[in-house]
Amino acid sequence: MAKLIVLYHIMSLYIYDETGQSHHTPHVNVRLNDGRSGNISIINGDSLNGNLPSRVIRAVKDFLGENRDYVIECWNKAQEGEKFEKMEDIS
């Protein structure tokens, strides 16, 4: 697991190295400071599971809309067991 970015001091986005595992949807794992978490599709920003508030899902969806190409690149690297550069945190 590698941290991709911290957004607005309240949530961190991670991408897991799932080499050899079958995952159909590229996704980020979102963890809030209060312990809630969930997975969000990189492709369309939909919530895949978890207990994230709708405002968090919207914020991640907006972030992905602006950064999708780089996040997909990071996902692909992680699935090949390669490291990727953490993005600069957004306050």
Q: What is the pLDDT of residue 22?
A: 65
**pLDDT tens per residue, range 18-68:** 666 666 689 999 999 999 999 999 999 999 999 999 999 999 999 999 999
Unique residue bearing structure tokens 């919207």:
58
Q: What is the pLDDT of residue 16?
A: 81
Check if the beta carbon of residue 40 is closer than 8 Å to that of residue 15. Answer: no
Tokens of 19: 């080499």
- DSSP code string of 48-59: EEE---HHHHHH
Looking at this protein, which amino acid is placed at residue 91? S
The model carries a pTM of: 0.88
| DSSP secondary structure code for residue 88 in this structure | P
Q: What is the pLDDT of residue 23?
A: 62
**pLDDT level of residue 80 (50, 70, 90 thresholds):** confident
Q: Where are the domains of the chain?
A: 2-79
Check if the beta carbon of residue 35 is closer than 8 Å to that of residue 21. Answer: no
Of all helices (H) and strands (E), which one includes residue 48?
strand 47-50
